[in-house]
Structure 1
């Protein structure tokens, strides 16, 4: 489908704040914006365009949050926001499980516009055979092409005939106008169904493409493979793909909601999960339990297979992180963190005992201390000293994927709620903020002195 154009008469109505839309696909624009909430920063902010802010997925930015931060606003969207909010200029954009992309005023939380991709999948466990997100719409973190001023989202959409597809849209960040629209299901082998694929991986942009990862629903029901699909930002139908475990099944690319890393040369880095059914011994299927380096068109350039992984020991529980000195870091359920050479994924070092429970979500990296901060599902943020190749302390009180803002580590606690700050240098806890209940793998984003976090019902901001 060609990118859609908005007629002049529509633009005129939009300028008056009168444009509305109904049905399964369309944009709704609010008529007015209230003044900023007291104490809310109002200056334009550096963008947070995708999962963990940068292509290396370090999750680390300059800036600061108030020493005694407080809630600035909370916006109820009527649905869960699983992905990390993305930010451009004075606009925060999120996707909901009701398949809405919603833009909010950064200072006030006022809804600016929204776009509905289509009907989300409901009764998921009954229809798919398993799954624990219901309704199931947009689960992944969106991605913004800052130069094109276009935000991309993928949702699970049910057609009028009951068929299930994964739909990619590109929207103008200022108006919500649709610029791109296509289905981005992988080229499945005969007998496999799109309903058995969960698009949880955060979207990644690079090489003029949107990279879209797939794993299985919670419970690994049905026959499926892990996939990465690359869709052109400008040419609908121009799709490339990478399949895991071509000699078997499984090998999910799910990353606990993290996103593929993109190297300076355009190479794409992902981690993969275990084969299905769970291998009794070491997992020997093709490119399962691996870090994989791919070309822009998703040809395999190099790979590293976890030498100890078996059964349900996903290496795909967190995304790879690109580090200085040509290194890449990956960690999975074996609790072993691997430092590899990014050029060929050859082994450099292994740090054992990470977390002591599943490390789930994207690690963050602080260049000032040369430390990694790894989220642990059963609680705590595990510190790793990269230079010394050894474990540091485990920071208590949070389990979500952390980010680092000006030397302060921020991490959420799911499902119960909470947002905790630590000094990246000392590990001391410096703040704790109360939140509503949070979705699994919740992680904040930052822009202009403010933190943004998706909740079970919408978005909350602190500063």
Structure 2
């Protein structure tokens, strides 16, 4: 029997295809306390997902778990491959390397989909029955660049148009030859794939944690890292950009800063942050250089075509957004609340300096965690004031992001999951 659904379910990274991070059915914040800890067989880099009274997580040991939402007890575990030890990788910073990107749940097929990195340089898409843990889909995904040993699947999976969309970048350290790409596979696991490959000679990673953003028109927005072209005398190569793709993964438009060549040369690209799509068709992006750009989703503007820009912060991870307000994860100075109305970029407040994780929103509260200290903060969404905070006594992975499930906040840790009640 499939898990009973609930209107507060969290079935994809940051709650929905737009990656808003905004949960509509969350209990108002109260005193924070650890409800339970689940010590699993590996680190959990992705967001925990929920359906009804089940919590679903994937580990770097290539396992997917269903946990009891109330106790953290294991309902089932599916071990789908052998992860790759760091000693066998050409570079990187995750050991072992298994399932890194947040899975996605498909209500129609009642499956959870994940991509496992396995020995032999394979990336394997699996679709698992939500109720039983039985593997019903298993398909090897050759990376479009032909260099799977140097490719890493870090971004969250996206679900749209009957397909699972899977993004690839490189390993930490940018070693070897790889080219960023996206692959779309039918949820049945059968049939031909659709693909997009960044038109650069090397690099152009698609690695920001949020994965593809689904627009109101059903198109995909991605951010792209530094590419091979590093001089204004070279032809622009599609890197250091925000790109709009059709459901069939044809490029429809893009934005790149005027400084794209210098950004590429200095590793100061936009690829570190998932684009934030606001309710009025505006897109906010701020990558490693620290310059924020406001774009029109219907006309991204090409090179130097931003509606507005300002020096703001170095964004890493995935923002949350509600209406015209974007909550931006910054590695320099902590969270930034930014208003994007009127084709302008205005900072409303800054959060705690160590609150550098990717935020989510519920019941007028912004939730953000510090991967350095393990602290979880509950901030007033209007002012940034700390309403509550808790030392989780857990080691949190980089770019950690809380999932919201009614009265619970769920965080992946380096050895499982911690659930905080409020």
The equivalent of 1:221 in structure 2 is: 175
TM-superposed CA distance for 1:283, in Å, is 8.2
Structure 2 contact 279–322 (Cα < 8 Å) conserved? no
TM-superposed CA distance for 1:170, in Å, is 0.6
Paired with 1:326 and 1:461, the residues of 2 have a C-alpha distance of: 34
Q: Does residue 396 of structure 2 align to residue 443 of structure 1? A: no
Q: Does residue 72 of structure 2 align to residue 109 of structure 1? A: yes
Paired with 1:43 and 1:172, the residues of 2 have a C-alpha distance of: 14
Q: Secondary structure at the match of 2:149?
A: helix
Q: Does residue 292 of structure 2 align to residue 337 of structure 1? A: yes
Larger radius of gyration: 1
- 1:189-246 Cα offsets, whole Å, 9 max, x none, are 4xxx311001000000001111111111000000000011111111424211111134
Matching of residues 83-94 of structure 1 within 5 Å = 83-94=46-57
Count of residues in correspondence between the two structures: 407
Q: Does residue 238 of structure 2 align to residue 287 of structure 1? A: yes
The equivalent of 1:384 in structure 2 is: 338
TM-score w.r.t. structure 2 length?
Answer: 0.92
Paired with 1:456 and 1:65, the residues of 2 have a C-alpha distance of: 28
Structure 2 contact 126–137 (Cα < 8 Å) conserved? yes
Q: Does residue 202 of structure 2 align to residue 249 of structure 1? A: yes
Most deviating of 279-288 and 452-461: 279-288
Paired with 2:296 and 2:248, the residues of 1 have a C-alpha distance of: 21
- 1:433-460 Cα offsets, whole Å, 9 max, x none, are 1121101111110112211000011001
The equivalent of 1:142 in structure 2 is: 103
Gap regions ≥5 residues in structure 1: 1-14, 16-41
Structure 1 contact 170–181 (Cα < 8 Å) conserved? yes
The equivalent of 2:15 in structure 1 is: 53
The equivalent of 1:429 in structure 2 is: 386
CA 407–132 in structure 1, closer or farther in 2 if over 3 Å, else same: same
The equivalent of 2:91 in structure 1 is: 130
C-alpha RMSD of the superposition: 1.9
The equivalent of 1:404 in structure 2 is: 361
The equivalent of 1:259 in structure 2 is: 211
Matching of residues 207-218 of structure 1 within 5 Å = 207-218=161-172
Q: After the TM superposition, which segments of 4 or more aligned residues of structure 1 sit over 3 Å from their partners?
A: 42-45, 280-285
Structure 1 contact 43–448 (Cα < 8 Å) conserved? no
TM-superposed CA distance for 1:57, in Å, is 0.9
CA 283–403 in structure 1, closer or farther in 2 if over 3 Å, else same: farther
TM-superposed CA distance for 1:154, in Å, is 0.4
Structure 1 contact 90–106 (Cα < 8 Å) conserved? yes
Q: Secondary structure at the match of 1:46?
A: coil
TM-superposed CA distance for 1:44, in Å, is 4.5
The equivalent of 1:39 in structure 2 is: none
Gap regions ≥5 residues in structure 2: none
CA 196–72 in structure 1, closer or farther in 2 if over 3 Å, else same: same
The equivalent of 1:395 in structure 2 is: 351
Partner residue of 1:302 out of 253, 266, 275: 253
